[in-house]
């Protein structure tokens, strides 16, 4: 834990300094409040695109979760899976993308960016395991590169998590389940003068269904103080997280078919990882101006083995990916109204800065988690500076629109163990954004959005001159890769409580990032195009019942000719999700959810495809006074579908050819299991943490 001492000390000092900051009671200025909308509320006349929306805490609480990252599955069309231990970041799919661990989907929590550039395991690595689900106030999502205030990693979309501002009812929650699943959460809040404090601590243990127990041990903590209201105030926040686990990675189909392996077995019993995260946040807002600063320490040691004995017949192919960094930055945003062409309009201007000081990012050959040799290691300084502007204009009572412009400047400084792979690269990219919405009637709105976006490439790739494995000459990649997208949308509320959206979209990438199975890494490859259709619907039938149905269809292809083929491996073509939920006045409630992921190509010629995956989860709840009892049933049909599929060459031992055998490698979904939880709310009746009666939050 020695690497944590300095960040922890700095974090504690800054946190203690926050409440001592001067607070002027006369800061309040007139500002229209922004109400947090859930799926039951209409966004007609408010949302900038048909694919934009929000999910509130009450809706999130009704979703049974196997893993924390599945909170993102509340975003219509998004899938979160796992091919390794539960302490590792989830793998995400959206709009025809295999997003790996977050390459083209930007995620922030309370304004702090979570995607990690130039990460040891994959570009844009997004680990949400530090989140405490009960403290999530809402998720606001937007799809496509159409918005000026988000930049790197947001080509497919973005999600902003907002956690609670206050907890008026302390909560104690105990969770128990099969496979030695145990979870304990204590959370509360209190007023101290004009400030409100929130504190929470969570611990979890889980062995999972695997032959070799996962031995997951994780803990999360939150300490926060906030003062003020929607007009003016400040907040300081400290988060901490630690996780350690043993992993059962994907396994080859031929070993299962021969009987050598069971579906819950592993070919390498020493896989797993260890991760830590500590973050500090400080923010202040006054009228139309908001400022935020953040600082985070993060480390990961991840041990994997995808090819078994292909590269090293003696010691095996296990490798360690290490990442240790301190990153920080902030943003400044200001809005001011004006009158343009006799109609109301608004300017928005923002400045964003982020610096990652990556002390170590490396790849090491290992056996039983002991390092044998170094493949590559580097220290990186990566700085991102962005300036954005957006003009929102109301042209008439029925027509409104926006135009935005964003410029991103990035600098990559790499000090690699091989001098020829060290160096510095700079690049800037200008990306325009446009949107238009027409309110056809009080219940129908049409919209059109277009824009350019980007994702950054791994800093090590921008200065690469010699491949660290083969030692052959290598071609460096472009630091920034442009994307271009557009969509047409329809949003309707034909009756109160019934919300419908339909979206047609297209997205082009100048360079695709592909997962390389035998190295556990990504590489920049060919230009691509995706297009598709999305349908979302939410219907609150009455105060008891609600229904939702989401459908996403997409097609992804490389744009350049190549004998290998034009299919993009891992690109999901069909996603469907449906749910029904009920809450009776008697205190009983429940939900039933279905999640379906269609087959996808695993090779560029399309000759190998994955199968479908369909899961059914359910929740039954009972409340009486301050007591809430819940039972979650996961994978109720006990299907043996796959969480993930890859196709590549591996070698099981000396009985197989030296060049290996190309095969399907997969990770089976967790079998049916039951989890029970008992929650006690002190000082009042049971509610979803951090929410009022409607689950709405306080400030956007």
Neighbouring CB atoms inside 10 A of 191's CB total 10
Average pLDDT over residues 537-545: 94
Task: Choose among 386, 480, 559, 426: nearest CA to 155.
Answer: 480
Query: Over the stretch 84-139, which tens digit does the pLDDT of each residue have?
Result: 888 999 999 999 999 889 889 999 999 999 999 999 998 999 999 999 999 999 99
pLDDT at 35: 39
pLDDT class of 261 with cuts at 50, 70, 90: very high
Q: Among 113-127, 231-245, 678-692, where is mean pLDDT lowest? A: 678-692
Reply yes or no on whether the pLDDT at 517 is more than 50.
no
Bridge partners for 534 per DSSP = 503, 552
Q: Among 157-171, 460-474, 496-510, where is mean pLDDT lowest? A: 460-474
**Which H or E run includes 140?**
strand 136-143
Q: Tell me the torsion sign for CA atoms 90, 96, 102, 103.
A: positive
Neighbouring CB atoms inside 10 A of 510's CB total 17
Reply yes or no on whether the pLDDT at 519 is more than 50.
no
- Radius of gyration of the chain from its Cα atoms, rounded to whole angstroms: 25
Ramachandran angles phi, psi of 142, nearest 5°: -145, 140
How far is 659 from 651, CA to CA, in rounded Å? Answer: 8
Reply yes or no on whether the pLDDT at 470 is more than 90.
no
Label residues 361-388 b or e (16+ Cβ within 10 Å = b): bbbbbbbeeeeeeeebbbbbebbbbbeb
Q: Are 207 and 215 in contact (CB under 8 A)?
A: yes
Average pLDDT over residues 304-319: 95
Q: Are 99 and 156 in contact (CB under 8 A)?
A: yes
Query: Over the stretch 204-217, which tens digit does the pLDDT of each residue have?
Result: 999 999 999 999 99
Reply yes or no on whether the pLDDT at 534 is more than 90.
yes
Q: Are 641 and 616 in contact (CB under 8 A)?
A: no
- Tell me the range of 13-27, 177-191, 455-469 where mean pLDDT is highest: 177-191
Mean pLDDT of the chain, nearest integer: 89
What are the distances in angstroms from CA 579 to CA 503, 582, 682, 691? Answer: 20, 10, 31, 22
CA 683 to chain centre: 34
Reply yes or no on whether the pLDDT at 10 is more than 60.
no
Q: Are 184 and 686 in contact (CB under 8 A)?
A: no
pLDDT at 94: 95
pLDDT class of 340 with cuts at 50, 70, 90: confident
* Sheet with 642-650, side-by-side order of all strands: 251-252, 661-668, 642-650
Q: Are 373 and 359 in contact (CB under 8 A)?
A: no
Q: Output the 3-class SS for 497-559.
A: CEEEEEEEEEEEECCCEEEECCCCEEEECCCEEEEEEEEEEEEECCCCEEEEEEEEEEEEEEC
Task: Choose among 140, 147, 138, 145: nearest CA to 48.
Answer: 147
């Amino acid at each position: 834990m020695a690497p944590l001492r300095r960040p922890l000390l700095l974090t504690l000092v800054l946190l203690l300094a926050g409440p001592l900051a001067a607070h002027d009671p006369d800061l309040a200025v007139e500002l229209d409040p922004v109400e947090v909308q859930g799926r039951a509320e209409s966004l007609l006349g408010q949302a900038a695109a048909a694919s934009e929306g929000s999910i509130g805490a009450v809706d999130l609480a009704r979703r049974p979760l196997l893993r924390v990252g599945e909170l993102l599955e509340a975003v219509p069309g998004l899938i979160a899976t796992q091919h390794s231990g539960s302490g590792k970041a989830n793998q995400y799919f959206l709009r025809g993308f295999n997003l790996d661990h977050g390459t083209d989907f930007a995620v922030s929590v309370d304004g702090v960016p979570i995607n990690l550039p130039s990460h040891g395991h994959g570009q844009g690595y997004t680990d949400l395991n530090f989140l405490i689900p009960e403290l999530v106030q809402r998720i606001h999502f937007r799809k496509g590169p159409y918005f000026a205030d988000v930049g790197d990693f947001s080509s497919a979309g973005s999600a902003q998590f907002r956690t609670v501002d206050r907890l008026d009812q302390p909560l104690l929650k105990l969770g128990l389940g099969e496979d030695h699943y145990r979870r304990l959460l204590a959370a509360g809040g209190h007023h101290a003068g004009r400030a409100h404090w929130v504190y929470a601590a969570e611990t979890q243990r889980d062995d999972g269904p695997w032959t070799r127990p996962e031995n997951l041990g994780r803990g999360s903590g939150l300490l926060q103080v906030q003062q003020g209201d929607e007009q003016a105030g400040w907040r300081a926040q400290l988060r901490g997280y630690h996780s350690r686990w043993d992993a059962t990675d994907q396994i080859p189909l031929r070993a299962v078919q021969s009987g050598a392996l069971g579906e819950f077995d592993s070919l390498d019993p020493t896989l797993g990882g260890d991760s830590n995260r500590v973050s500090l946040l400080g923010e202040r807002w006054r009228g139309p101006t908001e400022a935020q600063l953040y600082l985070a320490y993060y480390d990961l040691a991840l041990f994997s083995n995808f090819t078994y004995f292909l590269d090293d017949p003696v010691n095996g192919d296990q490798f360690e990916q290490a990442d240790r960094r301190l990153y920080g930055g902030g943003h400044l945003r200001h809005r001011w109204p004006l009158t343009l062409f006799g109609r109301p309009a608004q300017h928005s201007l923002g400045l964003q800065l982020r610096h990652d000081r990556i002390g170590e990012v490396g790849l090491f050959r290992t056996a039983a988690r002991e390092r044998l040799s170094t493949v590559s290691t580097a220290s990186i300084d990566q700085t991102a500076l962005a300036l954005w502007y957006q003009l929102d204009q109301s042209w008439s009572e029925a027509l409104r629109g926006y135009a935005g412009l964003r410029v991103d400047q990035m600098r990559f400084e790499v000090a690699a163990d091989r001098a020829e792979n060290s160096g510095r690269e700079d690049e800037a990219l200008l990306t325009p954004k446009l949107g238009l919405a027409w309110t056809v009637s009080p219940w129908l709105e049409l919209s059109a959005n277009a824009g350019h976006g980007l994702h950054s490439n791994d800093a090590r790739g921008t200065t690469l001159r010699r491949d660290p494995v083969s030692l052959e000459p290598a071609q460096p990649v472009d630091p920034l890769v442009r994307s271009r997208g557009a969509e047409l949308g329809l949003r309707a509320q034909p009756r109160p409580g019934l919300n419908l959206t339909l979206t047609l979209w297209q997205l082009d990438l100048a360079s695709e990032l592909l997962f390389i199975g035998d190295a556990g890494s990504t590489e920049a490859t060919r230009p691509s195009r995706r297009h598709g259709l999305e349908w979302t619907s939410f219907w609150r039938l009455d105060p008891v019942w609600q229904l939702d149905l989401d459908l996403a269809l997409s097609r992804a292809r490389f744009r350049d000719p190549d004998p290998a083929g034009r299919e993009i491996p891992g690109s999901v073509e069909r996603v469907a999700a449906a749910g029904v939920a009920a809450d009776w006045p008697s205190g009983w409630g429940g939900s039933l959810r279905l999640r379906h992921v269609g087959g996808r190509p695993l090779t560029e010629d399309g000759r190998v495809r994955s199968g479908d995956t369909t899961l059914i989860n359910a929740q039954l709840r009972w409340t009486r006074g301050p007591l809430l009892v819940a039972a979650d049933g996961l994978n109720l049909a006990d299907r043996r579908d796959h969480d993930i599929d890859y196709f590549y060459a591996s070698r099981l031992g000396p009985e197989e050819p030296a060049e290996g055998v190309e095969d399907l490698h997969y990770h089976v979904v967790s079998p049916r299991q039951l989890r029970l939880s008992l929650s006690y709310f002190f000082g009042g009746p049971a509610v979803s943490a951090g929410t009022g009666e409607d689950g709405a939050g306080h400030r956007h």
